[in-house]
Amino acid sequence: MSSTGSGPAAIPWAELEAAALAVRDRAYAPYSKFHVGAAVLVDGTIYTGANVENASYPLCVCAERCAIGVAVAAGGTRLAAVAVCTDASPPSSPCGACRQVLVEFAIDPATVEVVAINPAGERRRWTLAQLLPDSFSGRELPT
């Protein structure tokens, strides 16, 4: 795995972006035609997911939440980085529901980066804390 970045565990951005781009082609989006692929780095492993639409729109599943579900099913819980790929220009950020789910698994929302890309090579980058400031988490719940 090639890695770029800094800190104790460098993020393999090239692999994350390539995985998000590749899985985008597997999205099931017959209604919106908005294909999304996501790759998450959880506990050192890259997991992918694609959006899955349904004729009953509230039952649709976003790519980011799909990827987190795959990671959790494999036993992963510590999110370190996210790549999301859409055809939009500029590339789309995760929706609000996905931001909340990503924060749930983030090692630290202030340091977990999210990069949004498109096939044309455009990029946007944020931390989860920037995307969801003052987020609600399990820390607020009584123990």
Positions annotated as catalytic residues are 64
CA atoms within a 13 Å half-sphere pointing along the CA-CB vector of 94: 37
Task: Please report which helix (H) or strand (E) contains residue 67, including its range.
Answer: helix 63-73
CB 28 within 8 A of CB 35: no
Q: How far apart are CA 90 and CA 71, in angstroms?
A: 27
CB 110 within 8 A of CB 127: yes
